[in-house]
Amino acid sequence: MVRVGVHVSIAGSVAKAVERAENAGCDTFQIFSRNPRGWGFHDLSGEDSAAFARELARSGIFPPVDHMPYLPNLATPKPEVYEKSVMTLTAELQRCGQLEIPYLVTHLGHHLGDGLENGRKRVIEAISSALSNAENQVMILLENTAGERNSVGSTFEDIRAVLDSISPQERVGVCFDTCHAFAAGYDIRRAGGIEATMDQFDDLIGLQRLRVIHLNDALGDLGSGLDRHEHIGMGSIGEKGFKRILAHPLFHDLPLICETPIDIRRDDQGNIAKVRRLAR
């Protein structure tokens, strides 16, 4: 059986996310620990953390995953945004520690035309700084990006270059997003495509660094650079593509989190059910 879940809301309290994950039929789930569309946030109280821990233990769902908010850009050359981004990353690591969430997923950001090498350098410095200022064992997971203009982290070579320079090494890993990989040019939908892609990942990064899968179909075509998610099997990867992907042994061992739409065609429960059917 695969371990599959979705991104759930924390509206009302962070502990309510666990009940929402249960109601969706999740084996694992992802949250934003705060409002993802602003810089400001309220500190977590001891009761917030305790209630989340109680609900998590009661539910048996594991692991919970946190995702960085939308505004931070770890690769930006703009000093004010960069400083706020590093502060946000540090704060999110600390919040994960309070909530006993083992993984924090982050995009590597956009260099805004300042060059890939400069963008990488800023990402490395940002993550190393945040890790040194958050005294816990939370692991930052670098998420591959979709090949958008000026993005950092769209290729395995790019991710490897960042990973190699971060300290401490044991607190950094990778989250692999299927939509992003496909949009960046990795043809994971064809016969043998997921095997070839994971072999390349293993050669360049190492499969032991892969901790979480974002399982999303893609609205854009192969190599489009379009970061637009679609329901599982309804996009350009398609049902046959996901059946091949889910047949790979790696996808039976790792938590799979869908960041798919909710609309009249399908809801979260529907995407979870579709993944389980395709994984049989």
> 170: which 2 tokens?
């044991």
Dump pLDDT digits (tens) for 175-210: 999 999 999 999 999 999 999 999 999 999 999 999
Name the residue ranges covered by the structural domains of the chain. 3-278
Write down the pTM of the prediction: 0.98
Q: Which residues are catalytic?
A: 37, 67, 70, 107, 143, 177, 180, 214, 227, 229, 259
- The low-confidence residues of the chain, meaning pLDDT below 70, are none
Give the pLDDT confidence score for residue 34 in this predicted structure. Answer: 97
Spatial distance between the Cα atoms of 21 and 27, rounded to a whole number of angstroms: 8
Whole-angstrom distance, CA of residue 14 vs CA of residue 95: 11
Residues whose CB falls within 8 Å of the CB of residue 14, separated by 6 or more in sequence, listed in order: 31, 33, 44, 48, 51, 52, 99
Q: Name the CATH architecture for the domain at 3-278.
A: Alpha-Beta Barrel (3.20)
pLDDT in tens, 39-78: 999 999 999 999 999 999 999 999 999 999 999 999 999 9
How far CA 146 is from CA of 70, 72, 177, in Å, comes to 15, 17, 9
pLDDT of residue 1: 85
Contact 228, 257 (CB under 8 A): no
